[in-house]
Structure 1
């Protein structure tokens, strides 16, 4: 069973706020001058409500933390990275219902984006935006083609993995550029790739992992609708990998490209 933290947080904020408000209203109506000890549930509600409200606003409209559980975004993001996601880059949405109320911006090619997995919206995925609505995107011979233009890769040598990503040692480390966004990707030449070409529907985005041969992405299950967008990843605030001596201090505070 999936635990919806956003829904639970919203419900807890509403309940504590409701209890505190009702008790305040009853006191006002009674206009009693006698000091009485507040019921325990009211004390807890008045104490927790501002904290819960602050967390709800912060998490729903400003920034939300996530942990990277897989190798699909290596070498950009490693297993054990804890990242921050900007919740307003692509518009402000109401919590739980995820209805956009203010349109601020749109995803751009090369952005690293968190979204709800189209085949199971209870799961959050993170991939790189490869193609935008209306683009013709193809993947052939380990290369991306956008509107007929081949995205050039430059070899950087062999990759050396660490910790839980050590099994990627020996993969080809390549430099790739999508518009103004430069980043590195991993390629395993000996592993066959899913190939094909599609036109991205309106209101959808084509997503791929930087670990091209170890990523469950749009090549397999299709495009991501705009309503599934969670936000834009922008910073690594912690890395913990027990297979790599715990905390990797060199990654703390790194800006995600």
Structure 2
């Protein structure tokens, strides 16, 4: 005899159909995803920038839209984390700060595949200078990662000796090779008035009439070496001469240069140095000249919590010091528009922790003064920055 058993079927719970997202929810999810993705790409890989001024003319033009590589030199980890995404210093179209500095994280740099080199075009956070407070958002206005973005060419790397002689840059005693786009200020004497379109034809975007007389007209222009050579062949051009400031001329306050001590450093925009770019791990003796040159680094940029300049001495942690070892690398930057650039000649060195990335290419270029058909500089599009 066998026993038979039976089991009753257990009812399955009803399956709920997935709740369909509303159009608003789908839109919101898409926006959140786009913001997160854009923020990650902008932080880790590439970030777009616009060239607002002429300090890099004629390599980069006002109205150029460029991409800057973050991964060339290594991406910096976030420092100011309480910030509206995809903003810099202020909320779009307002004067409202886009950040809170209540939390400041230690900043590190992820591994990159190269280091900043002489000749690289680099975007960095403008450090400012303790001896020259200004309105451009330097050390005394914003955290490091939110200071105003500048773009210049790297002339000196850590340990280099940088010098300007009659407008020509030298690095470690050798001529720094000028790029084709580098320009300076010239005086052009002509026997007639010149139409603006003539200057524009030769890529001269900055020009102005200085003197107009019966037998001559003089223009002040900022031009490349090639443009000057080409214009010399014009029949109405009588003479072209560079406007290079004489050595040791410290009488013009417009050329007040770093480190703001004309007795020790009688420099100007065209005759400057030589000065040594600070290098991490290098120790210097703090004599009068070195204190004048590097006190801003020791007291402001090198991360010393209690460093002061008092009575001609550097006081660190309450004690005067006679030598100092630099904690990080620094760089010397200059604009290709040599006579139209506010750069290291006027405010000093760029700390390594201020470097944002390498400028790699121009993806759009708009001439605000161009006509309807010539608003876009077509030849400048998708050009590699050299």
Q: Give the alignment's TM-score, normalised by structure 1.
A: 0.72
Instruction: Report the equivalent of 1:196.
Output: 273
Once the two structures are overlaid, the 10-residue window that deviates more, 39-48 or 117-126, is 39-48
Q: Is the 8 A contact 1:114 1:125 kept in 2?
A: yes
> Within the alignment, does 1:48 sit opposite 2:51 as a pair?
no
Higher Cα radius of gyration: 2
Q: Which residue of 1 aligns with 2:351?
A: 225
Out of 331, 344, 348, which is 1:205 matched to? 331
Equivalent residues in 2 for 1:230-241, closer than 5 Å:
230-241=356-367
- Whole-angstrom distance in 1 between the partners of 2:122 and 2:38: 22
Q: Which moved more, 1:82-91 or 1:244-253?
A: 244-253
* Cα drift, residue 148 of structure 1: 1.7
* Residue of structure 2 in register with 1:171 after alignment: 222
Partners of 1:103 and 1:40 in 2: how far apart? 42
Cα distance, 1:105 vs. partner?
1.8
For residues 178-198 of structure 1, the C-alpha deviation after alignment (integer angstroms, 9 at most, x for no partner) is xxxxxxxxxx83253422221
Asked whether the equivalents of residues 65 and 83 of structure 1 are also in contact (C-alpha less than 8 Å), the reply is: yes
Cα distance between partner residues in 2 of 1:238 and 1:152: 27
Q: CA deviation at 1:123?
A: 0.5
Q: How does 1:45-124 map to 2 (within 5 A)?
A: 45-97=28-80, 99-119=108-128, 120=138, 121=144, 122-124=147-149
**Given the alignment of the two structures, is residue 127 of structure 1 paired with residue 152 of structure 2, yes or no?**
yes
Q: Deviations over 1:14-37 (max 9, x none)?
A: xxxxxxxxxxxxxxxxxx947556
C-alpha displacement at 1:146, in angstroms? Answer: 1.1
Distance 2:174 2:381 in 1: 36
In the alignment, the residues of structure 2 paired with residue 154 and residue 44 of structure 1 have an alpha-carbon distance, to the nearest angstrom, of 48
Please name the residue that 1:19 is paired with.
none
Task: Return the alpha-carbon distance in structure 2 between the equivalents of residues 72 and 106 of structure 1.
Answer: 23
CA distance in 1, matches of 2:62, 2:30: 37
Displacement of 1:95: 3.8
Q: 2:163 aligns with which of 138, 151, 154?
A: 138
Partners in 2 of 1:95 and 1:164 — Cα distance? 40
Post-superposition offset of 1:58: 1.3
Q: Render the CA deviation track for 1:22-63: whole Å, top value 9, x for unaligned.
A: xxxxxxxxxx94755668986555332221121112111111
Q: Secondary structure at the match of 1:244?
A: coil
Q: Which residue in 1 is equivalent to 2:370?
A: 244
Residues 116 and 123, structure 1, Cα contact 8 Å, conserved in 2: yes
Deviations 1:160-183 (A, max 9, x none): 4479934287435238xxxxxxxx
How many residues in Structure 1 have an aligned counterpart in Structure 2?
214
**Unmatched tracts of structure 1, length 5 or more:** 1-31, 176-187
Residue deviations 1:44-94, cap 9 Å, x none?
553322211211121111111111111110110111111111110001222
- 1:244 is displaced (CA, Å) by 2.2
